[in-house]
Amino acid sequence: MKNKISIITLGSALVTGILFNHLFYGKVPGISFAIFFYFTLACIVVFARFSKCSFNPPQILMMGGVLIFSFFFCYRAAPELVLINFCLTIYFFTLVFSNHLTGRSIKGQNFIDYFFLPFRFFIRSYSYGGKEVLNKCRVRNETHLSIAKRFLIGLLIAIPLLLLISLLMSSADQIFKKLADSFWEFFREYLLEGIGRGILILIVTVLYAGIYSWKYRKGEEDVKRFVTTPSKQRGFVEGTVIITLLNVLFLIFTGIQVIFLLGKEEQITRLGVTYSVYARQGFWQMVCIAIIVLIISILLEGKMGRNTDKQRRIHKINLCLTSLMMTVVMISAFYRLWLYEQSYGFTVLRFYSHTFIIYVAAVFVILSTKILKEHSSQKFLFNSFVATLLLFVFWNVSNPHYFIASINLNRHKTSVRELDISYLNQLSDDAIPAITSALNEERDDPAYEKLREHLIKRRVKIQKRIENKTLLSQNIATLKALTEIDRILK
């Protein structure tokens, strides 16, 4: 009998939610206000008679107050009276359930309780309504409900991540930004209202599920608490939702990058984007995306429960797809930075950025190997540590400042691009041998004459630094730079 009443309660609450949406969504309350409260009171009376319960005189009096003031709400036009009638209608409606909420009758309430009763009303009603819905779902399929709850948790975690990464992608890629703007226009025009109405119906349904169930509830102690059995698969559903949604987003973005990398310039210019501008933008945003995704992938690899072969396969496929698509993004970022350097030359930051991209790609490869071969976390950390160590060794062996000076000087020699002499002069003493090597070539070039003048001034500064240090404080690169300058200035 009670189960039958519970089903009727949930059905009536859903009808009330749909009615609320129809009467009030995007509309100014008027006669609809009275209609809605008359309907809800009628439902409450029907449930009371169906469950063979009765109302005490104070409750009947409060219900009369609801009927009167909800009528005056749509009968009077004075703004102050509209506000007063609205508040009194809600207030008397909460007093009808005073005994149910506090365990005391209206006459037994303390004076202070009358001020807090509306807040208790909504909190307790949502509590009862939520438990009513959850308990009904538990009767049918507790396992599916547990999965649904974890799915929602994963969705709530994924949404802000999707928004953050989408913003970075939009900033990095003008074509993706155009697609994102088109999707937002479609979403706002066709889907946003539907989602808003659905959420409103759900909120009102849960509230009235708690209100309509009050007559066959004897107290909060009789409400069964919904307790989900601890799952051995904790984190798998949430993690799968997060990484799957991210993969869908990456798939769209990666498709755009593939078109770009294949050199389909006409497909890009057709969308109103200049190819040269498109190619040189978005590097830093892509690096940020890669770092965020790498952190998420490492966390999911460590925290997601995987107890069956099917779960392990799904996990491997998801994260390997993520690594594959991020590799494409890293290649695109590398290529964009290379095109940017063809126009503006190398700098220290651009050199380190190039090598850092390769390092991040290597960590993704290490992570994919761990996932596929199911290596331990310790081995993954060790391999990542080795990759990091190799990066630092490469930075030292490659001599970045010498490399930058060589590339920029060679770029000036083989093209008509202007040489940034002031930046060359800002490089460390490691760059001096590259500069002196270029000056060895006899060229009638004003830029080379300026370089020679800068070297004369720099020699004075280097000489002073050497004289102010003891032998054991000297730097080999500085001594070598002084020797090279002396050789070229002879």
For 65, half-sphere exposure in the C-beta direction (CA atoms, 13 angstrom radius) is 19
Q: Which pLDDT value is given to residue 55? A: 75
Helices 192-212 and 113-172 pack at an angle, to 10 degrees, of 160
Condensed to tens digits (0 to 9), the pLDDT of residues 438-470 reads: 887 756 677 778 888 888 888 888 888 888 877
What are the extents of the domains in the chain? 2-161+197-222, 236-396, 402-489
How high is the pLDDT of residue 318? 87
What pLDDT was estimated at residue 231?
43
Distance CA 77, CA 19 (A): 24
C-alpha 317/C-alpha 306 separation (Å) is 13
pLDDT of residue 228: 40
Q: How many CB atoms lie within 10 A of CB 60?
A: 11
Going from the C-alpha of 50 to that of each of 14, 47, 81, 206, the distances in angstroms are 19, 5, 37, 21
- Between 61 and 280, the more confident residue is 61
Treating both helix axes as pointing N-terminal to C-terminal, what angle do 309-344 and 348-373 enclose, rounded to 10 degrees? 170
Tokens of 21: 């949406």
Q: Provide the pLDDT for residue 225.
A: 40
User: Can you say how many angstroms the Cα of residue 348 is from the centroid of all Cα atoms in its chain?
Assistant: 32
| pLDDT of 324 over the 80 cut | yes
Task: Give 350-358's long-range contacts (Cβ < 8 A, gap of 24+).
Answer: 351/400, 351/403, 351/404, 352/395, 352/400, 353/283, 353/287, 355/391, 355/394, 355/395, 355/398, 356/287, 356/391, 357/287, 357/290, 357/330, 357/333, 358/330, 358/334
* Statement: residue 35 has pLDDT above 90: yes
Give per-residue pLDDT as tens, 358-373.
998 899 899 888 888 8
Long-range contacts of 332-337 (CB under 8 A, 24+ apart): 332/257, 332/260, 332/261, 332/286, 333/282, 333/283, 333/286, 333/287, 333/290, 333/357, 334/358, 335/261, 335/279, 336/279, 336/280, 336/281, 336/282, 336/283, 336/286, 337/283
d(CA 45, CA 147): 37
Joined together, the tokens standing for residue 58 give: 């104070």
Tokens of 369: 């190997």
Looking at residue 36, what is its pLDDT? 92
Q: Mean per-residue pLDDT for 217-240? A: 53
Terminal-to-terminal C-alpha distance of the chain? 108
- Residue 227 pLDDT class (50, 70, 90 cuts): very low
Instruction: Please tell me what DSSP assigns to residue 308.
Output: S
pLDDT cut 70: percent of the chain above it: 78
Rounded distance between C-alpha atoms, residue 16 and residue 114, angstroms = 27
pLDDT-derived band at 215, boundaries 50, 70, 90:
low
Residue 48 structure tokens: 């009371």
Report which of 141, 150, 301 is spatially closest to residue 231, judged by C-alpha positions: 150
Percent of the chain topping pLDDT 90: 5
Rounded mean pLDDT, 1-26: 79
Phi-psi region of 444 (alpha: psi -120 to 50; beta: other; left: phi over 0): beta
Place of tokens 């999911």: 300
For residue 122, what are the CA distances in angstroms to 35, 222, 334, 392, 449? 21, 19, 56, 60, 82
226 has a pLDDT exceeding 70: no
Q: Which of 53-67, 130-144, 467-481 has the lowest mean pLDDT?
A: 130-144
What digits encode the pLDDT tens for the residues 362-421? 998 998 888 888 888 888 889 989 999 999 999 888 888 988 888 888 887 777 667 778
Please state, rounded to an integer, the average pLDDT across all residues of the chain.
78
Place of tokens 């010498």: 402
Q: What is the pLDDT of residue 224?
A: 42
Between CA 286 and CA 273 the distance in angstroms is 19
In sequence order, which residues have a C-beta less than 8 Å from that of residue 68 and are 6 or more positions away? none
Q: How confident is the model at residue 212 (pLDDT cuts 50, 70, 90)?
A: confident
Of 92-101, 107-116, 121-130, minimum mean pLDDT range: 107-116
Tell me the C-alpha distance between 473 and 467, whole Å: 11
- State the pLDDT at residue 150: 78
Question: Which amino acid does the sequence have at 180?
Answer: A
Which DSSP letter does residue 189 get?
I
CA 371 to chain centre: 24
Neighbours of 426 (CB within 10 A): 12
Single-letter amino acid code for the residue at 82: V
Q: Take residue 84 and report the two structure tokens written for it.
A: 């007063």
Distance, in Å, from the CA atom of 369 to the CA atom of 363, rounded to the nearest integer, reads 10
Residue 69: pLDDT over 50: yes
pLDDT 10s digits, 162-206: 888 888 888 877 778 888 888 888 877 777 788 888 888 988 888
Confidence at residue 18, expressed as pLDDT on a 0 to 100 scale: 92
Other CB atoms closer than 10 Å to residue 173's CB: what's the count?
A: 25
Nearest to 463 by CA among 490, 442, 481, 437: 481
368 alpha carbon, distance to own chain's centre: 23
